[in-house]
Amino acid sequence: MADGSKYLPYSSRSGNESIVYFTRDLSAEGLRKIYARVNHNITGKVAIKLHTGEPKGPNIIPREWVKSLIDNDIHGAHIVETNAYYEGGRYTTELHRDTLKVNGWNFAPVDIMDESGTAMIPVKGGHYFTEMSVGKNMLNYDSLLVLTHFKGHAMGGFGGSVKNIGIGCADGRIGKAMIHTTPGQPDQWDISKEEFMERMTESSKATVDHFAPHISFINVLRNMSVSCDCEGVAAEPVVTPNIGILASLDILAVDAASVDLVYALPEHFRHDLAERIESRHGHRQLSYMKELGMGNDRYVMIDTDNGDSRIYPEDAVKGVKPFEG
């Protein structure tokens, strides 16, 4: 079992490279521009999996960005979510619908996928699971755009694409319990560190395999609190600078590049988020994705702002400004 508290520098990685697109343009237009680079397999009935947030959550992806993307580029797409495992504003479908209204997700259909039940989908090559319980309505879609607010996470260390679908497509009672809780004991959060990362990653693999090749990944590196959007207004203040948007057809590459961009920041900028990742052993998400054959942790990052030239993380973060809320 790899030590998830240790960051693996790019120079120590091996294997093939995938393509990851990068823009500094944190806007609706920037999102549309980078989506166009990874949209060629997004066909048929489209689901967009994003974190719609707890009531009045301050750091979620701006609604107007998502509205512009759907109105201009993915007509008829549904935003998809599942109910939460913890008590709060998304614990039941009724509460979840109220929270969606509060947070302004009323410009497109929002499908709470476990509202009417669950379905089991296979986990290929898993250690913990042979199948994962997901919201039943996930089976109604042909393609999935994984649109992720990249940030910290209380248990995962970071929340990237693998967390967005590994936890976010698992249904709120069965699937999430399979990932978080050892049956027969009272602590619903007893599974942590490497085992939690591995269970979450196996869940994510089930969804990736279900949709492949009709699945794309976008990570938005903006308002990166060490807290997940599931903490809503209780999230820790943001101290990490905004960086940009990444997109890829490779889930491991897009999450690895996101982590690399954070680690390329000056130490005083990256400290809090890097400490959150390491203290929760979050790097195991990346190494386990590689072991499961989910993609490459090496990549060519394409600077879409500058003629599609290759760019490296240390250059991509040059000149970033301190976060201003």
Q: Which two tokens stand for residue 99?
A: 């929270």
Q: Which two tokens stand for residue 219?
A: 């990570």
Instruction: Provide CB contacts within 8 A for 60, sequence distance 6+.
Output: 50, 51, 52, 53, 103, 149, 229
HSE (CB half, 13 Å, CA atoms) of 36? Answer: 10
Structural domains of the chain sorted by starting position, each given as residue range(s) with its CATH number in brackets: 10-316 (3.40.50)
Beta-sheet pairing, 143-149 with 215-221: parallel
pLDDT tens digits in sequence order for the chain, 325 residues long: 689 999 999 999 999 999 999 999 999 999 999 999 999 999 999 999 999 999 988 899 999 999 999 999 999 999 999 999 999 999 999 999 999 999 999 999 999 999 999 999 999 999 999 999 999 999 999 999 999 999 999 999 999 999 999 999 999 999 999 999 999 999 999 999 999 999 999 999 999 999 999 999 999 999 999 988 787 777 788 999 999 999 999 999 999 999 999 999 999 999 999 999 999 999 999 999 999 999 999 999 999 999 999 999 999 999 999 998 7
HSE (CB half, 13 Å, CA atoms) of 131? Answer: 8
**DSSP H or E run through 94:** helix 93-102
CA dist., res. 202 & res. 121, Å (int): 11
CA dist., res. 139 & res. 132, Å (int): 13
158: nearest Cα among 260, 207, 226, 205: 226
CA dist., res. 201 & res. 166, Å (int): 6
